[in-house]
Amino acid sequence: MARASIHNRQDSLERALHLFWQKGFHATSLKDLEKALDMRPGSIYATFGSKDGLFQEALERYARLGLAELDRTFQAYESPLAGLAAYLRALGGICDKELPSRACMLVKSLLELGERESIARDKAEALLAGMEARFVDRFAEAKKVGELDSRLDPVLLGRRLQAEIMGLRAFAQRDVDSAAVHALAEDMAQSLEALRADEVAEIV
Amino acid sequence: MARASIHNRQDSLERALHLFWQKGFHATSLKDLEKALDMRPGSIYATFGSKDGLFQEALERYARLGLAELDRTFQAYESPLAGLAAYLRALGGICDKELPSRACMLVKSLLELGERESIARDKAEALLAGMEARFVDRFAEAKKVGELDSRLDPVLLGRRLQAEIMGLRAFAQRDVDSAAVHALAEDMAQSLEALRADEVAEIV
DNA sequence: TATAAAATTGAGTAATCATTCAAGTTGTCA
DNA sequence: TGACAACTTGAATGATTACTCAATTTTATA
């Protein structure tokens, strides 16, 4: 005995995510959202509570999809190091895809949000920490299976990889050739592969 | 036969830069600027034309100061590679300084600004291209003096370094220990130093 | 088919936004 | 000292902001 919703929550969230990722939190107005979601203010507020709340849900969706893609890449490679390198190489093709932005939405949010949006900023921080943890885990796994020299620190390597990815994607946000980004990612991937235990043995 | 200005243009610009760097373009309101510059709207507009114009001047000042610091570091080291490594290590201490933001203002702007602020965004892009050019120059110099293996590409290395710095500073924007950022910068500096011709010879 | 509950609407709110400009202030030089 | 020019002021502008809520529409069930 109730009216059914004409909007799919996930679909609305996906549209909002697209807009927020492209324009950022501040530059995305409720007018923009109304148009993109084809919803009137009342419906948006009834569904998501506030612009801030909608943004936070969009952030979570972004991170969830990103982590899923990461895991998909990892699962395709038995070797942890190979999986990490493949993920980097895939990022090299970021300019070829049609995305709202080449930069990571978590990083965009981290850099844009201030005290007034501290909850969303903290959420972005937590999600970035989660990504870092996955990288660290993968490096730890590589160490366990003997791919990685025992003297190397998975935590440092994980952080380093996250910083490289942040940098790669920020760089890709510049008006640069797709080829330059591919070359950059390839270079990073090779640096990562050079960590293989047998190769490290030669230079340490 | 004219009234002298009570405001120092450079000083006003410095205050505006502080605010824009900290909060970003959109989150910085004219009210904020009025308070920080101790100027009324009329004076601000008479001096800088518009919020956008003021932001652009702040961007240029930021880049000018940044380039000056870069050159100062380079001049302190005869070896190009050592200068680049020293610059990275200095960035490792970014969390210890009292700055408006740990992230690069050019990157923040690149990620935040959209079509509506295209002039400022293009300016940020151009300034980043200028930074990249300095890195490339320095790597080319390293190659010329034989510090760098002749098979390595200064353009790729320059871009890679810029991406690493972008990443390092974005990472430092997270709520992380100063020690972690120091370790990250040290790791990056060592990777850079590992490019020295004599060391490369062993692994290629 | 009548009822009740949920979903949607969109005009309206108060606050804030960047910007303007006429009026007032101040210092310099004739 | 008088007059001019530059600088500063701050109230007012209209646009836009996020958000609210009473009224309306819709639909499943009794």
In angstroms, the CA B172 to CA B101 distance is 9
Which residues 166-185 of chain B have a CB within 8 Å of chain A? 166-168, 170-171, 173-175, 180, 183-184
Q: What is the pLDDT of residue A198?
A: 72
Give the best residue of A31, A115, A174, A191 to mutate against chain B (max B CB count within 10 A).
A174
Tokens 């930074």 -> residue: B131
Kindly list the residues from chain B whose CB atom is less than 8 angstroms away from the CB atom of residue A125. 174-175
Contact (CB, 8 A) for B22 and B86: no
Taking CB atoms and an 8 Å limit, are A171 and B188 in contact across chains?
no
Closest CA to A85 of A128, A152, A139: A139
Taking CB atoms and an 8 Å limit, are A111 and B173 in contact across chains?
yes
Q: What is the distance in angstroms measured between the alpha-carbon CA of A166 and the sugar C1' of C18?
A: 33
Which ranges of B38-152 would DSSP assign to H, the alpha helix? 41-48, 51-75, 80-91, 105-112, 118-144
The superfamily CATH assigns to domain A59-203 is: Tetracycline Repressor, domain 2 (1.10.357.10)
Distance from CA of A120 to the nearest CA of B (A): 13
For domain B62-203, give the CATH number. Answer: 1.10.357.10
Q: Hey, is the C-beta of B88 within 8 angstroms of any chain A C-beta? A: no
Question: Looking at beta carbons, which pairs linking A79-83 to residues 24 or more positions away fall under 8 Å?
Answer: A79/A142, A79/A145, A79/A147, A80/A138, A80/A139, A80/A141, A80/A142, A80/A145, A80/A147, A81/A142, A81/A147, A81/A148, A81/A192, A81/A193, A81/A195, A81/A196, A82/A193, A83/A138
pLDDT per residue rounded down to tens, chain A (204 residues)? 688 899 999 999 999 999 999 999 999 999 999 999 999 999 999 999 999 999 999 999 999 999 999 999 999 999 999 999 999 999 999 999 999 999 999 999 999 999 999 999 999 999 999 999 999 999 999 999 999 999 999 999 999 999 999 999 999 999 999 999 999 999 999 999 999 987 544 444
Determine if strand D comes within 7 Å of the CB of B26. no
Closest CA to B189 of B166, B161, B153, B154: B161
Output DSSP code: residue A7: S
Model confidence over B72-95: pLDDT tens digits? 999 999 999 999 999 999 999 999
